[in-house]
Structure 1
Amino acid sequence: MTVVSTLTKPLVGLKAAYNVIYLACPYTDPNPSVRKSRFEAATIAAADLIRQGRIVYSPITMTHPIDMVLAGAANTLGSDYWVTFDEAFMVMCSEIVVLKVDGWEKSRGIAREIAYFKKLGKPISYISPNHLAK
């Protein structure tokens, strides 16, 4: 294993609170290849934000592999299953960044996440996958 030492170390030093990004990305789709593509896009976006020294929680990066174990590779538990998990992390995050991949505007999960952050008065921003390092 190679350790990359050129990355910023966001957790150096103790702080009472951290600014943590909740990275929102659509996931649920009947097509397993679409779900895999969205997982990959979310993971690349999270890595890009981490390279910038940001602290990121990417629910799709975390839950896609678990979803595949629980539901099987060809199926998904769907967005509604993960609501409780998502909200447990959203309350701890200081802002939401929405990854604008295909389907983000129609995603019920993204709409729910944006509404949650609006209700808490936390910042909402958007990024395009076209501007990310691969």
Structure 2
Amino acid sequence: MIYLASPYSHPDVAVRELRFRDACRAAAKLMRLGHAVFSPIAHGHCICTHGLPTDWRFWEPFDRHHLECCNEVVVLTLDGWEASAGVQAEIRIAIELGKPVRYLGPDWSPTLAHVAKEVGG
């Protein structure tokens, strides 16, 4: 299973919505290629509309469990990914767990998925 890490938290609701849509788009592309994908943003965005926090501190224990279960982590490099506390923590946890970490740009082509850059693992 691929754990699709991507930035989410932002004070602007419109930015969070765009990040959610981009994460869903990337997850769909990976799924079309036959990969099982868990995206904490695709999963959590709608749940957050029912009063849950959007910050990493709240979501860390849930996401850590999914990171333990995944085979690899793919980081969607949307604007803000390098400054995202959640994405950086997900990368650190993945490396600690010995999971490969790959990076995909937001406009990657599904046919180029196999050339994603691998680091850390």
| TM-score of the pair, normalised by structure 1 | 0.79
Moved over 2 A (4+): none
Name 1:32's counterpart in structure 2: 13
Unaligned runs of 5+ in 1: 1-19
- Give yes or no for the alignment of 1:118 onto 2:106: no
Question: Cα distance, 1:77 vs. partner?
Answer: 3.3
Does structure 2 retain, via aligned residues, the 8 Å contact 1:45–1:132? no
- Identify the match of residue 63 of structure 2 among 86, 94, 103: 86
Q: How does 1:53-68 map to 2 (within 5 A)?
A: 53-68=34-49
Name 2:3's counterpart in structure 1: 22
Identity of aligned residues (%): 42
| TM-score of the pair, normalised by structure 2 | 0.87
Counterpart secondary structure, 2:107? helix
Alpha-carbon deviations, 1:11-63, whole Å to 9, x = none?
Answer: xxxxxxxxx00000000000000000000000000000000011100100000
Name 1:5's counterpart in structure 2: none
- Give yes or no for the alignment of 1:109 onto 2:86: yes
Question: Cα distance, 1:78 vs. partner?
Answer: 1.5
Alpha-carbon deviations, 1:51-99, whole Å to 9, x = none?
Answer: 001110010000000011114xxxx432211111101111000100000
Counterpart secondary structure, 2:37? strand
Does structure 2 retain, via aligned residues, the 8 Å contact 1:25–1:100? yes
Alpha-carbon deviations, 1:79-123, whole Å to 9, x = none?
Answer: 211111101111000100000000001111011000001111110
